Amino acid sequence: MNLRLSNLLATALAATLAVMHPTHAQTGPQSEPRPLILAPTIEGMYICSEATQDSSIADIHAAEASCRAHRRNGASAVRRLLDTLEPGGPKGRVQVGFTLTLQLLGLFHEGAEGEWKIDASRVAAALQLIRDIERPVVIYLAADHFDSLGPLPEALAQDPRNLMQLSDGSVPQLGYFGYRIMPYTLSTDPTIPVNKYRFEALEQIARGIASLPPTVQQRIVAINLLGELHHLFPDFENGMGLSAPTRTTDYSPHSVAGFRQWLREKYQTVETLHRRTGLRYSGFEEVPAPSKDIRTERLQSFGEHYDTYADGTLPLGGWLWDPQQVIRRLDLYVNGKPAGTVSRHLNRLDVYRALDEVTSPNTGYRIDYNYSGLRAGRHIAQIVAQSDHGPSLLAEREFVVVPRDQSRAPSRKPLRLKNLPAAESKLPGIRTYMDSPKPLQDVYYNPLARDWNDYRTSQVHGFLNAFYERAVQAGLPAEKLYSHQIVPHVNSSWNQQLFAVDTTLQGHTPWKQGLNMYGGSTDSPWMQFFIAQRKITDYGVPEFNPQQWKREGVHLAALQAHMNAGARFIAPYYFSVVPQRFKASAEQGVNRMELGPDNPKDGSDKFYRAIIEFAKQ
């Protein structure tokens, strides 16, 4: 991409953001714009003071059960917290409300005849909180892999129809900081038990919301659907990086059959499949779902090959700390020829944590290079930094395109840009490291791997769309329905293929976008461009925490940036009104983010004070 085109993109970004700002609903030429709602996630809202004072109640689950039985809740504690954040009630351009989370599968209990029924007391308790706390509310209807607690999820785990599978037929055993995760199917079939219960709970909650007084319903700002819906992979806490082996879902019989049908609709005939991919099969029922690494596993056909690079893309990336901002642009050259502009300002919270001198997490850079048209043999990729000091070499990697038959390619020496000084020696203050790929990475292009990734993406989009349509049919207001999605692209060291969410993150989806943001993504030029490029407007941020502590003003600036861009709501993660005696004694990664004046971990105290200051508007 040349400089002129880069400047045009920057101009388009500015224009789009300018258009985005006035998307607040207007009722007339003199009307005020809608306020931005701060709707923090709050732990412990169902714990009443009576249970807190009862020494015979030993844990949080028993406390919540006791409060439900006596029709009590923690509304008074929540009101005190929210009044601290915004004294005097919701008013002004920024108003403080709260997020109410409902785990849909957690609403069920087993009836006397062994049937699963919704516990009406749980639904009533949630609706009562909305009545009792007279502030704006975001309702989060959670039904993703985190909806895994309670007797019904335990029972659902015993039926393979409900779950995704790895390529060896096993079900991923996953957790997140001690919290069990359930890899529920992405099939939209309503007869599958997990879907039957998801949809039943959705419909009952919709009826409950419709029964609320109109004045209470008006306080509902947004309804978030499902949670972070995506495909899963081993080692959920740490396995999303590019360096880990690529193992994806879903290889269940239903999913693989769906893949073959998807291929049939795309190619129509196996002859067309052969002509466009070079892969020959006698029928679509013989086409494999790619799952085997050609380096370590024996293939029955090349179409089985699958790894991070098999779909024809080679991620090139690392991190760059440029405190004096001397670098204007990063360009990729392959074999001495321009091959694209490299994205910058991506989230690398790991670098921010590791190096004291790095004061921003937005140090990542990355480009996903399409190598599928290259000849077999050695090639060289060079990342070139453009600055007022002239071009300099930031990093380079040789890689090898291997033919399908793994025959030895001609060992021609690749062409390269020469006489480029190293950026670290030429440019002041630069620190950098290239993470991926490894030197002389071998890559094998399998067109079926590209199709497999596209199909998996269609599965995620398909289930979210089906759930949205069910929500509308159940009577929930379409204009208030938002997704609750992760944006893996903003993390430069992540393997985005594992998640398969790209088509759910567009501005033309029927639902409104809810984009979760942590670390540098909360205030990132890259994220701003992502939102503008995809024409995303009137969006929400269902989870938000900058996780930073090295610079003042970071949290306030991040909140203000999203207000300027037209966000409808931001949900800071997270506050707690759980009494101390019910809290676990061991610290986990998540509870470092508990917001309050006395918790300096991850900058939680700074974020707390920024919320109070921001809410004064």
The answer to whether the predicted template modeling score (pTM) of the entire model surpasses 0.85 is yes
Q: Are 210 and 480 in contact (CB under 8 A)?
A: no
Q: Which residue has the tokens 């947004």?
A: 222
Q: Are 346 and 339 in contact (CB under 8 A)?
A: no
Q: Which fold has domain 3-22+35-240+451-614?
A: TIM Barrel (3.20.20)
Alpha-carbon distances of 189 from 27, 55, 259, 364, 453, rounded to whole Å: 41, 47, 15, 40, 21
| pLDDT score for 469 | 98
* pLDDT digit string, tens, across residues 175-199: 998 889 999 999 999 999 999 999 9
Residues of the chain with pLDDT under 70: 1-31, 409-410, 585-587
| pLDDT score for 148 | 96
| pLDDT score for 587 | 65
Where along the chain do its domains lie?
A: 3-22+35-240+451-614, 253-308, 313-441
| pLDDT score for 586 | 59
User: What tokens does 34 get?
Assistant: 């809608």
Q: Give the integer Cα–Cα distance in Å for 255 and 260.
A: 9
Please give the span between the terminal C-alpha atoms of the chain, in angstroms, as a whole number: 41
| pLDDT score for 585 | 61
- Which residue type is seen at 193? P
Which element (helix H / strand E) includes 473? Answer: helix 447-473
Closest by CA to 568, choosing from 202, 205, 97, 209, is: 97
Residue 184: asked if its preceding bond is cis (omega within 30°), the reply is no
| pLDDT score for 13 | 42
| pLDDT score for 23 | 39
Residue 437: asked if its preceding bond is cis (omega within 30°), the reply is yes
CATH class of 313-441: mainly beta
| pLDDT score for 243 | 83
